[in-house]
Amino acid sequence: MTDRLSIVRENLQAVRQRIADAAGRAGRDPAGVRLVGVSKYVDAATSGLLVEAGCRALGESRPQQLWAKAAAAELAGADVEWHLIGHLQRNKVRQTLPVAALLHSVDSPRLLAAVQQAAQTLGLRARALLEVNCSGDPEKHGLAPDELEAVVASLPDFPAVQIDGLMTMAAREGGRSEAQSNFAELRELRDRVAASAPDGVTLSELSMGMSGDFEEAIAEGATLVRVGSALWDGLR
């Protein structure tokens, strides 16, 4: 266990150094980029090693895995902030909201309405990001870029939902340069839409970038990077 913890600590340190280096190249303060450790690749006990190493924000792609990890005995008492980074079906919203500190993937007006209804019923204010499909990949979830402005304009109709910003996934093809283009599009879209957003809507968060392209995301203004495989490298 100690050896596994050492590996995770070294991986975490390496990822944080890469974040700092990328921020420095972009003329940004590394403190403005937050790491979400994607724990979907590992079990609850291994997820706990990352928390012990010093990363308390963990991301899961599937709601069922999020629920299970949050309730796992191996993580009992751990100071974990759970993020749902994958697609959320409307019938899983109510069970997810009490667990997730941030939903990264509100990808349609219907899901936004479902989150509003569940949050109101539960007596809480849900924090979320709007997912935008900047790559145009039909297999990816997300609002079309030209839908975003209308959805943002409607946010006062959803008082139990606090939209903190935007999220996107890079294209599957095209490598780092195409990924950076997708990230630049999200930043530019955010800047344009935020200028006319309703009072109280700042869209300050940009969740973009994973293990293979988070440096490019940081160059384009990412405030949240979702890193998984780079944190678990070398574990058996």
- How much is the pTM? 0.95
CA dihedral 163, 194, 141, 186 (to 10 degrees): -130
Contacts (Cβ under 8 Å, ≥6 apart) of 236: none
**Three state DSSP letters for 186-225:** HHHHHHHHHCCCCCCCCCCEEECCCCCCHHHHHHCCCCEE
Average pLDDT over residues 34-45: 95
Average pLDDT over residues 117-146: 94
User: pLDDT by residue (tens digit) across 162-218?
Assistant: 999 999 999 877 788 899 999 999 999 999 999 999 999 999 999 999 999 999 999
pLDDT score at 90? 97
Q: Which domain holds residue 226?
A: 2-232
35 pLDDT more than 70: yes
% of the chain with per-residue pLDDT over 70: 99
60 pLDDT more than 80: yes
Q: Is the dihedral of CA 87, 185, 101, 80 positive or negative?
A: positive
Bridge partners, 167 (sequence order):
131, 207
Map residue 82 onto helix, strand or coil.
strand
C-alpha dist (Å) from residue 86 to 54, 139, 187: 23, 13, 20
Spatial distance between the Cα atoms of 49 and 85, rounded to a whole number of angstroms: 20
What total of structural domains would you count in the chain? 1
CATH code of 42's domain: 3.20.20.10
52 pLDDT more than 70: yes
Average pLDDT over residues 80-106: 97
